[in-house]
Amino acid sequence: MSRDWHAWHEEYADPASSRSRRLDVVRTQLRALLSEAAGPVRLVSMCSGDGRDTLPVLAETGADIDAVLIELDAELAETARRAAHELGLDGVDVRTADAGTTDSYRGAVPADVVMACGVFGNITDDDIAVTVARLPSLMPPGGHVIWTRGNRVPLDPTGFDGDPSDYVRGLLHVVGFEEVAFVRPDDAGFRVGVHRWPGPAAAFEDGVRMFSFV
């Protein structure tokens, strides 16, 4: 499956589109987590694109944030760097790197908030399972992951019989995550989940391939 990620981002220009609505939900959930934080927050974003789901919220809340955004596409990563600079977000590091390997997270984890948005609809079910199993090693006890999964995704790689977001929720439950929020609109195909890792602490391991886009 090949996708033009620059064209994909253009749908955000339509405020009524499913993608724009999903963006609003993700930002709302991130805003809620940051508003509840008692101190400095460490954040990491997988496949972060141009950072639009994260950077405006960091600037708006004024929270004490140390953030690492990981994006393989050099042009999108550079757009995120410019946006972070324009928003005065000196604590943001945008890495042009492969978010599918744990090597790219070295020095960025454990993170209190892990953003996994726009990832699970582009990888196989097996890779989702591997990624979910690795999430505890990317966050401390009490950390949260914000994730998305589309239903009726074009050329969807899933073999799950049903809404694929339920597959993700099931994996998170088996690993031991606690569901904090789950948004499933009746009139749109996007889903947004927030899960909390209660512990115990899990060791980070370099050199692990979690996923590859298909």
% of the chain surpassing 70 pLDDT: 93
- Cα 190 to Cα 5, 89, 104, 137: the distances in Å are 18, 29, 27, 27
Q: What share of the chain is helix, strand, coil (3-state, %, to 5)?
A: 40, 20, 40
Structure confidence at residue 12 (pLDDT): 59
Q: Which CATH number is 5-196 given? A: 3.40.50.150
Structure confidence at residue 5 (pLDDT): 45
% of the chain surpassing 90 pLDDT: 88
Q: Each residue of 76-135: pLDDT tens digit?
A: 999 999 999 999 999 999 999 999 999 999 999 999 999 999 999 999 999 999 999 999
Q: Where are the domains of the chain?
A: 5-196
Is 55 a residue whose pLDDT tops 90? yes
**CB-CB contact of 41 with 64 (8 Å):** yes
Q: Please tell me the distance from the alpha carbon of residue 121 to that of residue 99, in angstroms, as a whole number.
A: 15
Closest CA to 75 of 5, 122, 1, 123: 5
Q: Each residue of 158-178: pLDDT tens digit?
A: 999 999 999 999 999 999 999
Structure confidence at residue 45 (pLDDT): 98
Q: Each residue of 193-204: pLDDT tens digit?
A: 999 999 999 999
Is 51 a residue whose pLDDT tops 50? yes
